[in-house]
Amino acid sequence: MLSYLEDLKENEDQLRDSDCCGNGCTNCILDNKPRPSKRVLLAGKRNVILSYTKFRLLRREALGPNGQLLLLHFAHAAEEGDGDGAVDTVLDIPPGHHVMLRVGSLLRPYSPYWSDFVAKEFRILVKLQPEGPMSRHLQAVQPDDLLEFRGPIGQYVHEPQPAKCIYIIAQGVAIAPTLPLVRQVLDNEEDMSRLWHLVCAHDLLHVYFREEMLEFAQFWNYRSCLYLPHQQCDSSACQEAGHCAQQCPQLRDNLRYKETAKVSRLDATELATHLNPAIPGQRVLIVAGDSSFQKNIAQIATQSLDVDPANIYML
């Protein structure tokens, strides 16, 4: 069993400039000095992903309207000679943290949307980019293939007390890494924090994890809203307008119980409707999406939601 200091040293010893993927991540692997979570300290076990470690692909599933999304499920692959050492390890990827995938000299970050501490498994949702080198590689991976990951990388830590007002704003496929952030609050009965989960997508077809959002909606402290500026049904009125009207009956029919959707972009005025000034608690904003989305939302939220820039986190 490695102590915390040994864990930290193992991580720092192995970080070099070549470990940076060059994508300009908000939380760069080189600035990452992870403190073991309370969970790891309590378990008294080593986090298996602190240095590049092999994970076996258990399942791959193509999703999305054109199959351009891949759901990948990995499990830690015990190396020969690990013996009983394997039982002294766990997989700790705290909510809001990402991992780095290394294939040869190619490095790309991915944000797990689910992980299992004891079974040492995690899942990512990948949007394949045309001509992207890692996308080409991932398009070809098959169950049983071994890939190398290291992490966890990130800064976000949630303290349940005192209760907060947490706004989580996600763009498209980047809703995936926001799911553990929501679960973390809802799974803790003593956490009185309130959540607003605002999801921006092209249209309803491009909203992922709707089932999970419906499960979350059963909790008193969770609210969500979908922003779908390009939603368009086949009625002649909506075809002519270029998008559905807010009251479009087809859109309403396609929404499930407790789903709220707006046929518009999430702008400053719209964001301000979620301010709820009568609800006490520090405002925290978490934004998941590409860098221009993150920058734009962070800018409008400082005014519309009265969030202190110190409490804004980019995933």
Ligand X SMILES: Cc1cc2nc3c(=O)[nH]c(=O)nc-3n(C[C@H](O)[C@H](O)[C@H](O)COP(=O)(O)OP(=O)(O)OC[C@H]3O[C@@H](n4cnc5c(N)ncnc54)[C@H](O)[C@@H]3O)c2cc1C
Contact 56, 66 (CB under 8 A): no
Work out whether 296 is an interface residue with ligand X (CB under 6 A).
Answer: no
Q: Choose one: 8-16, 125-133, 221-229, 252-260; the region binding ligand X (CB under 6 A).
A: 125-133
The residue within the footprint of ligand X, chosen from 61, 290, 306, 308 (CB under 6 A), is 290
- Write each residue from 168 to 207 as x if it is in contact with ligand X (CB under 6 A), else as -, in one continuous string: -----x--x-------------------------------
Q: Does 108 bind ligand X (CB under 6 A)?
A: yes
134 or 266: whose CB is closer to ligand X?
Answer: 134
Let me know: does 268 contact 304? Beta carbons within 8 Å.
yes
Q: Could you give phi then psi for residue 26, rounded to 5 degrees?
A: -60, -40
Name which of 132 and 229 has its Cβ closer to ligand X: 132
**Which residue in the set 4, 14, 22, 23 belongs to the binding site for ligand X (CB under 6 A)?**
23
- What are the distances in angstroms from CA 93 to CA 166, 214, 215? 20, 24, 23
In sequence order, what DSSP letters do the residues of 51-89 get, joined into one string? S-EEEEEEEEEEESTTS-EEEEEEEE-PPTT-GGGGGGE
Q: Is 40 left (phi over 0), alpha (psi -120 to 50) or beta?
A: alpha
Helix (H, G, I), strand (E, B) or coil at 123: strand
Name which position in 3, 31, 41, 129 contacts ligand X (CB under 6 A): 129
Q: How far is the CB of 188 from ligand X (least distance, A)?
A: 24
The per-residue b/e assignment along 77-91, b for 16 or more CB within 10 angstroms, e otherwise, is bbeeeeeeeeeebbb
Round to whole Å and give the CA distance between 176 and 2: 32
Distance CA 34, CA 50 (A): 9
Is residue 285 within the footprint of ligand X (CB under 6 A)? no
The reply, when asked if residue 146 is annotated as ligand binding, is no
Q: Is 134 annotated as a binding residue?
A: yes
Least separation in angstroms between residue 26's CB and ligand X is 7
Q: Is 171 exposed, middle or buried (0-12, 13-18, 19+ CB in 10 A)?
A: buried
Is 1 one of the annotated binding-site residues?
no
Q: Does 133 bind ligand X (CB under 6 A)?
A: yes
Considering only residues 32, 111, 115, 224, which one is a binding residue for ligand X as defined by CB under 6 A?
A: 111
Position among 57, 72, 124, 248 found at the interface with ligand X (CB under 6 A): 124
Other CB atoms closer than 10 Å to residue 16's CB: what's the count? 8
Please report, in range form, the residues annotated as the binding site for FAD.
108-110, 125, 127, 134-135
Query: Residues interacting with ligand X, by CB under 6 A?
Result: 23, 25, 98, 108-111, 124-127, 129, 132-135, 173, 176, 290
Please report, in range form, the residues annotated as the binding site.
108-110, 125, 127, 134-135
